[in-house]
Amino acid sequence: MSSSGPRQAAYRLGVLKGDGIGPEVVPVAVDLADLSARAAGLSVEWVELPVGLEAYGQLGDTLPQQTVEALHGCHGWVLGPVEHHRYDPRLSGMRNPSGTLRRLFDLYANERPARNLPAVPSRYEAVDLVVVRENTEGFYADRNVLEGDAEVLVTPDVVISLRVVTRRACERIAEYAFQLARRRARLRARPGRVTAVHKANVLRRGDGLFLACCRAVASRYPDVALDDVHADAAAYFLVRDPQRYDVLVTTNLFGDILSDQAAGLVGSLGVAPSLNSGDEHAMAQAVHGSAPDIAGSGVANPTAEILSVAMLFEWLGRRFDDPAATEAARRLEEAVGAALSAGVRTPDLGGSATTAEFARAVRARLAPGSML
């Protein structure tokens, strides 16, 4: 886990808008986050950087070197969704910015909370869980070999997919989950619990190692309970009784799938935030993709992106022991909650508000008296 560094006079945060609905929701999130930061006395310099299909068109690279270099000088950044299925792997310069950045900056922990938000219609109530997903290895072909790709086409009819599981990655993701469970327990004044999700019954070595690491780390957290569940049973219990879970920790692919499922439990992918973090940097990135079916129509829900930036502010608050960053996160979350409570909802939540109308409603709560 990262130790906290000296408080900064100002924070440099990159803005990478991404594809599809990215250019619709990222600027809204940044604008509102900036307002919240100012009100909390947090100084942020936002640095817009090229990424995605637009960057490919202009610079021949979906993740240009100049972007990567600039990010090294940033404390963190916001990455909008990327339309990865349109990236042709046969063309050079068509890298998946999301996976590449996670690996390049060792953003090993993907924290994906799912909780009910005020006045957001959903199938369940009182859901308040977090999926903690290992981000740097597993079955993801673009990040588990040094060069090339870990999906091998043996014949036109046979594919071998390699999965990597290391003790180091398992231990640090377990550590992250226990630290998070401890913080949540303090905030909620109840005991913390971590549930390790695995398939050690079938993937005996890989998931066996993951489970053993979770148990070893648990011995250092006597105040946090550990239990475990097979991934298939976890999917079942999540739809039966999601309130039973606190922090779920798991490997990359299971975490990717279960966190989308968890978003569905509390209303929409449009309200599901996430943060990718390592010891030195963090990347705010909503759980959802580029939503090509609604891109360009001005109705995307920016909530997930806004709350992802709030998570980035919270991370800055912990990393630099800076209460102004924590306060900026709190104000942003509160303003989103207040706008939702007032019934302002985008179509994914059954409402008729446009992205801009929802943004105005949040802005009015952040800065009463500002232009509506």
Task: Give the residues lining the site for ligand NAD (CB under 6 A).
Answer: 21, 25, 81-85, 98, 269-270, 285, 288-294, 300-301, 304, 348
Determine whether 17 is an active site residue: no
Residue number with CB closer to ligand NAD (35 or 78):
78
Among left, alpha and beta (phi > 0; psi -120 to 50; other), residue 133 is beta
Is residue 221 annotated as a catalytic residue, yes or no? no
User: How near is the Cβ of 43 to ligand NAD at its closest, in Å?
Assistant: 28
Q: Which is nearer to ligand NAD, 214 or 307 (CB)?
A: 307
- Residue 84 or 103 having the CB closest to ligand NAD: 84
Q: Closest approach of Cβ 304 to ligand NAD, in Å?
A: 5
State the catalytic residue, choosing from 106, 128, 149, 260: 260
Distance of closest approach, residue 269 Cβ to ligand NAD, in angstroms: 4
Which of the following is catalytic: 11, 56, 108, 140?
140
Cβ neighbours of residue 72 under 8 Å, at least 6 residues apart? none
Q: How far is the CB of 24 from ligand NAD (least distance, A)?
A: 9
Among 15, 28, 91, residue whose Cα is nearest residue 346 = 28
Active site residue 227: no
Distance CA(308)–CA(287), nearest Å, equals: 9
Q: Which amino acid is at 209?
A: L
CB of 231 to ligand NAD, least distance (A): 19
Identify the active-site residue in 108, 199, 228, 322: 199
Q: Which of 223, 232, 236, 241 is catalytic?
A: 232
The residue with its CB nearest to ligand NAD is: 289
The nearer residue to ligand NAD, 67 or 326, going by C-beta atoms, is 67
- The 3 state secondary structure assigned to the chain is CCCCCCCCCCEEEEEECCCCCHHHHHHHHHHHHHHHHHHHCCCEEEEECCCHHHHHHHHCCCCCHHHHHHHHCCCEEEECCCCHHHCCCCCCCCCCHHHHHHHHCCCCEEEEEEECCCCCCCCCCCCEEEEEEECCCECCCCCCCCCCCCEEEEECCEEEECCECCHHHHHHHHHHHHHHHHHHHHHHCCCEEEEEEECCCCCCCHHHHHHHHHHHHHCCCCCEEEEEEEHHHHHHHHHHCHHHCCEEEECHHHHHHHHHHHHHHCCCHHHCCCEEECCCCEEECCCCCCCCCCCCCCCCCCHHHHHHHHHHHHHHHHHCCCHHHHHHHHHHHHHHHHHHHCCCCCHHHCCCCCHHHHHHHHHHHHCCCCCC
140 has catalytic annotation: yes
- If the CB atoms of residues 201 and 297 are measured against ligand NAD, the closer one turns out to be 297
Q: Which residue is catalytic, options 19, 142, 207, 256?
A: 256
CB nearer ligand NAD, residue 211 or residue 359:
359
Compare residues 51 and 150 and give the one whose CB is closer to ligand NAD.
Answer: 51
Which residues are catalytically annotated?
A: 140, 199, 232, 256, 260
